[in-house]
Copies of this chain bind each other. A is one copy, B any other.
Amino acid sequence: MPAKRAAKRAKNGAKSHVIGVDLGGTNIVFALTDLSAKILHRFKMPTLAQEGRDKVLSRMAEGVLRVLEESGVSAQSVQGVGVGTPGPINSRQGILYSAPNLPGFKNTPIKAYLERKTGLAVHLENDANAAAFGEHWAGAGKGTSEMIMLTLGTGVGGGIIMGGKLYSGVDDTAGEFGHMVIDPSGPLCGCGQRGCLEQYGSATAIARRAREAVLAGTQSSLLTMAEGDPSKISSRLVHQAAKDGDPLAHQVWADTAVFLAIGIANLVNIFNPQMVVLGGGVMLAGADLLGPIRREVLKRAFDRPARTAKIVAAKLGDDAGVIGAAAVAIARA
């Protein structure tokens, strides 16, 4: 244990646990962890965002107290609570500015609210940053000092670890890798630009490209797999069809690897990191995606940083967020 962390630990006396909370649009995940962010107790409850902000906030406080109850750990032995939330935040003040999937959460002082309700120190972090910090603390990036993470899900999120610490920029908005433009004449993105990486590397984009080709009349087993309904084509289905030898699905998947490699090569040239961790639902494809991406990044990025940067799959799966939130509470204690 580094001297600094040992000193902190001494200061925190017998505080041997932290609580992680991962607030999502569908579920809230709660976990009690030890000071290495190892999960000792974990449960989730539905967010029920449509019931409004106050109900969700009160469920978050209840969940934290329930962690203590169910695990039999006293509040005195808890060092703090880390909370990961979607949307732009102010980490110092612990305010969630807004979150598209959480109606009513505009400018919500989550930290102040939870501290009042639980009596514990609360630390807020953006969920993509929390996931990256989780993978750094206890997952694929454990032991690295310079690491970046891309989460390939509905959108493309990102997080930056530098010098072993989370780098979140001046306004806690750093790491928006999904909105790096890689083709200014590409598809229109929700952010207002064209050709953002998110428009190529997200699960949504993979499904959309396959769907568009099917609707344009390209022969593909995808239509049958989707029971004749193109709107049912998902990135998972495209991956399955590609494995089964469907030419269209194979092409969509191959293009995805190239587009992602363009973005990752850009980031490798910019950050010269030890490691690039790829997470999110798209990575269920595993080696089928990692192999082509690695080859293409080696061709594209400068030789030295390309050879240095290990491109690997995330290890913590859906728990990256809650483990990262716990790790944030440990690191900031």
Contacts and interface: CB of A to CB of B under 8 A. Distances in A.
A265 B193 contact: yes
A173 to B, nearest CB: 5
Nearest to A193: B300
Q: How many monomers of this protein are in the complex?
A: 2
A179 B302 contact: yes
A269 B181 CA distance: 10
Contact of A169 (B171, B272, B299): B272
Contacts of A175: 270
Contact of A272 (B162, B168, B181, B193): B168
Nearest to A262: B181
Contacts of A299: 192
A182 to B, nearest CB: 6
22 contacts: A88-B304, A160-B270, A163-B163, A169-B271, A169-B272, A169-B273, A170-B274, A170-B305, A171-B308, A173-B304, A173-B305, A174-B272, A179-B266, A179-B302, A180-B180, A180-B266, A181-B266, A181-B300, A183-B183, A191-B302, A266-B266, A270-B270
Interface of A: 88, 146, 158, 160, 162-163, 167-177, 179-185, 191-193, 262, 265-267, 269-274, 299-300, 302, 304-305, 308
